[in-house]
Amino acid sequence: MNRKLNRRDFIKLQAKNGLFLAASASGLFLPQLSLALSTPDIGVVKGEAVAATKAAVDLIGGIKSIVKKGHRVLLKPNMSFTRSPEEASNTNPDVVKTIAIMCKEAGASNIMILDHTLAPGNACVQISGIGPACREIDNNMVHAINNPSFFKQVNISNAKSLTKTDVVKEALKADVLIAVPVAKSHSATGVSLSMKGMMGLIYDRTIMHRMDLNETLVDLVSFLKADLTIIDGTRVLSTGGPGGPGKVIKKDTIIASKDMVAADAYAVSAFEWYGKKFKPTQVKHIRLAHERGLGRADIENLSIKTITI
Amino acid sequence: MIRFRRLIQTFCLVLFLLLLTLASISGISMVNLDLFLQMDPILVLISAISAKVVLLSFIPAAIILLSGPFIGRVFCGYICPMGTTLDVTDALFRFKNTPYLFSKNLLKIKYLVLIFLLGSALFGVSYVFFASPLSLITRFYGLIIFPVMSFLTMAVLDIIRPLGDMLDINSISFAQIRTIRFATQFFILFFFVIIFSMVIFSSRFWCRYLCPSGALLAFVSRSPIIRRQVSDLCNQCGKCARKCPMSAIDKEIPEKTFYSECIVCRTCEDICPEKAVTFELSEKNDTITYETFSPKRRALVSTGIIGAGTAIMSLTGLNSLYGKPGEGQVGAKGLVRPPGAVLETDFLSRCVRCGECMVACPTNTLQPVWFVAGLPALFSPAVTPRRGFCDPKCHECGKVCPTNAIRPIEKSDRIWAKTGTANIIRQKCLAWEFEKSCMVCDEVCPYDAIEFLKEKDNKVPVPHVIENKCAGCGYCEHFCPVQNQAAIKVTPMDALRINQGKYEPEARLKGFKLQFKKPGQKTNPLESYPAIQQDSAPGFDKE
């Protein structure tokens, strides 16, 4: 902001800051702080996919802190490409299945696993392995949502450019939205993680390319904010994303957080991309989301708990 | 007997529709999906003459034709889906009792149609798609009824979907089917509206007067061994003549049958109050009623000349120079043929426009063209990437083509069947013109034929097509986020059109490097281009 401060504004501002400080000191914000002491902001578990997924969610308070009895749950994995799990363009089916089972055990009344796929829908559901894996829980759980009649137009208040879009109806009905992205690179947005994955729940994505992709993406996330993010870092598509094929690095890591931005930010810093290390703020949409207060990209200030099983 | 015939007709129509439906489902290769097309005598004859090839798959047509001298036009009365469809529409659209129409002159037209087709086929131009009953009816069901069914199914799903949402029946909430849409459908429909409305003059107007397959069968069925016999019980009431759907019975002398017009429906046998009519092995005494209505020789010759003339006109059109390099590379602009399509001239003489390939295409990219490539190319299939990409692992179109206008390609050879090359239209490109970091074309390219380079004066890396790695599949054009015309477009440049042999050696000779993206093989902008390396990595900001 280039606006010059006059004295009156300056005093107002000081007073506000003073009040804020006083409130902090007196413990007004304490509940949050104390919670942070027991449950970390980000849980990171290294180990076998199924066990690591369970452990990561448990680290940040367990599935029951999010999914209550009778809740409708929407899982958003990556299954947009006709590629096998080993190629890391799609989310590891074991991770998706584990989360679905956890939600069911927590008492979810309805669990849907949806993605608007780029390649032909049925082929994606099958070849990604997510369809076959989750069929064991429920035959009608996994769907490629490629038909306009599955979507409904919504207005995004506070959006900077993407003021309206067509969102899958299930996202509007669901009580809980869980992002289950695979950790992968993306030629246009650097990485494709939980935030970028939300493009799989809307109908027209081409408009986002024609506008500013990063800006519209943050607009979208301000509407489709996941209650829980579990990033599948069992295999990381380090180059050649989003479609692949590219360099796949086996990291056996699951990252869980209730803050999408934090989870994405951590994933950026935790893995190597194109043979290099990057700071979360080097990914524009993560930086913008932080600036807009959708979550925190300053992971150095967050509590992170890492365990190996 | 009518009931028996109806049963056979229903069975044949259902079988025909079943095979067409199976053709629309990918991965069916066990069944002979073209059985009905292969039974059509005119389709076989004209294709063989115009393309100058004899195809073994046309044995069914030979059987049909050879059956004529024994059992008459049974094909028309029992098997032909066009005939059955006309029986249904005649019953639907008839106003009152069909008038009795008998005209020797009209009966001659179908022979003239046949001669016209032969005349043009001699010059290698096939106009059989205008008149072959099986080509027409397959096109009708495939390109008009199939999309309508798809639309209606979707409409029903949309109606019951809220119910599924309400009751949480996910199989209903998320049920979806392919959206099938075709170009030129009104022109196809127009033809059928005319054919169907002919019921105001007579039933089965098409079969009686126009069908060239009917003409061929009539020619061989002038006196079949098993045929209509009338006994002495006949009191000449004339009921049979009035009820005959083909007017194949003389109104004045009902004992007299015009066998070349009789489709052996045996209605006369059923309705005869005196039970005087039978269909059985012929006896000597009825041969006197033998009579045909072939046109005069002069009419035949002049129609043949008209056919030949039309062929010559087609061969002197500008589009006829397509694929002839010395003539300036003219040809229909941007017309991309399906993979495996033979050389254009042969393609057009073989293709019968039945529409099977378009029905079979899982991405709906194959669309019938209208006049873009002239009259001889009417309704021929073209790859339309904006509608759908042409999956380089798929070759459903080649599997169903009845005349090998689209050759079947072996699985290992499919990737080499290049259909064209993509070109970037820089003025429309989000990266080139609008400096937005869009890399969709590279993301979706199955061949790794797009590379992103850093250019001077542009903030973002911009796409380039590596021509010899591009197979023209159209993934890029299909998914390009630029509206209406894409910023990357497939043109038929460097399309491999060969009539025989494998595609791979031919493609290698031309220096094409067609292979799917593999890990490590992908042109990694970071490794290959130092200019981008300075810029950290694709999509990341500088620190």
Q: What is the CATH number of the domain that holds B277?
A: 3.30.70.3270
d(CA B111, CA B294): 7
**What mean pLDDT is predicted for residues B242-248?**
88
Residues 202-221 of A with CB under 8 A from B: 205-207, 209-210, 212-213
Cβ contact B151:B342 at 8 Å: no
Could you give the C-alpha distances from B67 to A162, B85, B261, B385, B476, in angstroms and in order?
Answer: 69, 23, 15, 45, 52
Q: Record the tokens describing residue A44, joined without a space.
A: 């990171």
Q: What pLDDT is stored for residue B56 in this prediction?
A: 65
- CB neighbours of residue B439 within 10 Å: 26
CATH code (residue B459): 3.30.70.20
Q: Which of B265, B291, B317 is the last residue of a domain?
A: B291
Residue B280: inside a domain, yes or no? yes
Q: What pLDDT is stored for residue B222 in this prediction?
A: 85
In the chain, the amino acid numbered A85 is P
Write out chain B residues lying below 8 Å of A118, CB-based. Answer: 444, 479
Q: Measuring CA to CA, which residue among B483, B411, B415, B426 is closest to residue B449? A: B415
Chain length of chain A: 309
**What mean pLDDT is predicted for residues B106-111?**
90
**What mean pLDDT is predicted for residues B301-324?**
88
Q: What pLDDT is stored for residue A33 in this prediction?
A: 46
Write out chain B residues lying below 8 Å of A141, CB-based. Answer: 170
Q: What pLDDT is stored for residue B140 in this prediction?
A: 96
On the question of pLDDT at B415 being above 90, the answer is yes
Q: Please tell me if residue B20 touches chain A, with a CB cutoff of 8 Å.
A: no
Q: Record the tokens describing residue A53, joined without a space.
A: 């997924």
A82 against B537, higher pLDDT = A82
When mean pLDDT is compared across A63-72, B365-374, B380-389, B522-531, the lowest value belongs to B522-531
Assign B470 a pLDDT band (cuts: 50, 70, 90).
very high
d(CA B113, CA B128): 10
Q: Which of B240, B257, B291 is the last residue of a domain?
A: B291
Q: What pLDDT is stored for residue B283 in this prediction?
A: 66
Residue B287: inside a domain, yes or no? yes
Write out chain B residues lying below 8 Å of A205, CB-based. Answer: 481
Q: Record the tokens describing residue A299, joined without a space.
A: 């992971």
Residue B57: inside a domain, yes or no? no
On the question of pLDDT at A12 being above 70, the answer is no
Q: What pLDDT is stored for residue B32 in this prediction?
A: 83
d(CA A90, CA A244): 10
**What mean pLDDT is predicted for residues B494-519?**
89
Assign A147 a pLDDT band (cuts: 50, 70, 90).
confident
Task: State whether residue B489 is helix, strand or coil.
Answer: strand
Assign B459 a pLDDT band (cuts: 50, 70, 90).
confident
* Average pLDDT over chain A, rounded to an integer: 88
On the question of pLDDT at B519 being above 80, the answer is no
On the question of pLDDT at A32 being above 70, the answer is no
Assign A139 a pLDDT band (cuts: 50, 70, 90).
confident
Q: What pLDDT is stored for residue A8 in this prediction?
A: 65
**What mean pLDDT is predicted for residues A164-192?**
93
Q: What is the CA radius of gyration of chain A?
A: 20
Residue B463: inside a domain, yes or no? yes
Q: What pLDDT is stored for residue B374 in this prediction?
A: 86
Residue B332: inside a domain, yes or no? no
Architecture of domain A39-308: 3-Layer(aba) Sandwich (3.40)
**What mean pLDDT is predicted for residues A161-174?**
93
Cis geometry, peptide bond prior to residue A245 (ω within 30 degrees of 0): yes
Residue B469: inside a domain, yes or no? yes
d(CA B53, CA B50): 8
Residue A87 to residue B519, Cβ atoms within 8 A: yes
Cβ contact A96:A75 at 8 Å: yes
Residues 37-76 of A with CB under 8 A from B: none
d(CA A42, CA A303): 7
Q: What secondary structure letter does DSSP report for B255? A: T
Q: What is the CA radius of gyration of chain B?
A: 28
Cβ contact A244:B519 at 8 Å: yes
Q: What pLDDT is stored for residue B274 in this prediction?
A: 87
**What are the residue boundaries of the structural domains of chain A, listed by start?**
39-308
Range of the structural domain that residue B522 is part of: 412-543
A202 against B99, higher pLDDT = A202
Q: Which residue has the tokens 């996330």?
A: A221
On the question of pLDDT at B400 being above 80, the answer is yes
Q: How do residues B429-446 score in pLDDT, each as one tens digit?
A: 999 999 888 888 988 899
Q: What pLDDT is stored for residue B526 in this prediction?
A: 44
Q: What pLDDT is stored for residue A31 in this prediction?
A: 46
Assign A11 a pLDDT band (cuts: 50, 70, 90).
low
Cβ contact A140:B170 at 8 Å: yes
Among B154, B436, B442, whose Cβ lies nearest the Cβ of A187? B442
Write out chain B residues lying below 8 Å of A274, CB-based. Answer: 524, 526, 536-538
Residue B2: inside a domain, yes or no? no
Q: How do residues A246-298 score in pLDDT, each as one tens digit?
A: 889 999 999 999 999 999 999 999 999 988 889 999 999 999 999 999 999 99
Our count of domains for chain B comes to: 2
Residue B254: inside a domain, yes or no? yes
